[in-house]
């Protein structure tokens, strides 16, 4: 079983739609959680950290459920520029200074 | 430029040759990481440096892989006797440290192709 699992998609949605991605992680000791986005043939960029209380950054909302070991990302009013691969990322805890990446969910926003 | 830089951007080599990949982190960043991304795969952690020492090398896939960092700055990842399965994009990242591995700044990567 992969340490971080995501639905690979692809998700194809019309501009303006709301889209949600889910992710699960297997290591209950995991401490920090993030979403990154990666454009085609580019390096990943940090989108947002994810907190237990849930957090929002503009059109993006992230949620964490530690009991279910589940992370989500919601994008509202999607734009063409949101087309990218979204990576669910976890720090495995216990002092580890590294990130474990999911394989990513590919999103295409259609005009 | 103020970002993480890597060289070369592309490297094509023949199976069995050695390659060296270079990373220049952001000035003042004490933590440096190497990851790789194979086709269709997620990013895979290779090694973490804090200053010049590497407290976590757990992701290096075999003893053909090694890395060093000098002067708390530039890092070199060396792959000896390259194999076709080494073909991937090798990404370097840096941070101020103490961020539980969270990085905001990845380099553009070196795309390695082993023929």
Q: Average pLDDT in the A74-103 region?
A: 94
- Beta-carbon separation of A103 and B41 below 8 A: yes
B108 closest CB neighbour out of A32, A43, A101:
A43
Q: Which residues contact A15 (CB under 8 A, 6 or more apart)?
A: A78, A79, A80, A109, A110, A111
Is residue A97 predicted with pLDDT exceeding 90?
A: no
A5 contacts in chain B (CB < 8 Å): none
pLDDT for the residue A55:
93
B56 closest CB neighbour out of A42, A44, A98:
A98
Helix (H, G, I), strand (E, B) or coil at B85: helix
Residue ranges, chain B, pLDDT below 70: 1, 98
- Beta-carbon separation of B59 and A98 below 8 A: yes
Q: How many CB pairs under 8 A join A and B?
A: 60
* Per-residue model confidence as pLDDT tens digits over A20-74: 999 999 999 998 999 999 999 999 999 999 998 889 999 999 999 999 999 999 9
Residue B43 touches chain A, beta carbons under 8 Å: yes
Beta strand spans in B8-109 (E): 10-13, 19-24, 31-37, 43-50, 53-56, 65-69, 75-79, 88-95, 105-106
Sheet with A60-65: list strands edge to edge. A4-6, A19-25, A70-75, A60-65, A55-57
Q: Which residues contact A85 (CB under 8 A, 6 or more apart)?
A: A37, A38, A39, A40, A104, A105, A106, A107
B100 contacts in chain A (CB < 8 Å): 31-32, 91, 96-97
A43 closest CB neighbour out of B33, B101, B106:
B106
pLDDT for the residue B79:
98
B31 contacts in chain A (CB < 8 Å): 97
pLDDT for the residue B1:
54
Residue B25 touches chain A, beta carbons under 8 Å: no
Helix (H, G, I), strand (E, B) or coil at A42: coil
* Per-residue model confidence as pLDDT tens digits over A7-35: 888 999 999 999 999 999 999 999 899 99
Residue B103 touches chain A, beta carbons under 8 Å: yes
Tokens at residue A26, please?
């297997």
* A25 class by beta-carbon count within 10 Å (0-12 exposed, 13-18 middle, 19+ buried): buried
pLDDT for the residue A2:
87
**Quick one: which of A52, A60, A2 has its CA closest to A35?**
A60
Contact criterion met (CB below 8 Å) for A109 and A14: yes
Give the integer Cα–Cα distance in Å for A26 and A31: 12
């Amino acid at each position: 079983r992969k340490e971080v699992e995501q639905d690979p998609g692809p998700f194809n949605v019309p501009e303006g739609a709301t889209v949600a991605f889910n992710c699960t992680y297997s290591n209950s000791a995991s401490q920090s959680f993030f979403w990154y986005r990666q454009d085609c043939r580019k390096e990943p960029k940090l989108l947002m950290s994810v907190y237990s209380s849930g957090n929002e950054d503009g059109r993006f909302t992230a949620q964490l459920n530690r009991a279910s070991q589940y992370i989500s990302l919601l994008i509202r009013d999607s734009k063409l520029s949101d087309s990218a691969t979204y990576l669910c990322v976890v720090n495995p805890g216990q002092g580890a200074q590294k990130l474990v990446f999911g394989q990513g969910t590919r999103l295409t926003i259609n005009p | 430029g103020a970002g993480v830089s890597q060289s070369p951007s592309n490297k094509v080599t023949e199976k069995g040759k050695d390659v060296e990949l270079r990373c220049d982190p952001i000035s003042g960043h004490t933590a440096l990481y190497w990851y790789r991304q194979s086709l269709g795969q997620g990013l895979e952690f290779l090694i973490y440096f804090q200053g010049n020492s590497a407290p976590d090398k757990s992701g290096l896939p075999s003893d053909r892989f090694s890395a060093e960092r000098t002067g708390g700055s530039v890092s070199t990842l060396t792959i000896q006797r390259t194999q076709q399965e080494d073909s991937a994009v090798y990404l370097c990242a840096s941070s101020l440290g103490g961020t539980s591995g969270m990085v905001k700044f990845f380099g553009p990567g070196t795309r390695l192709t082993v023929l």
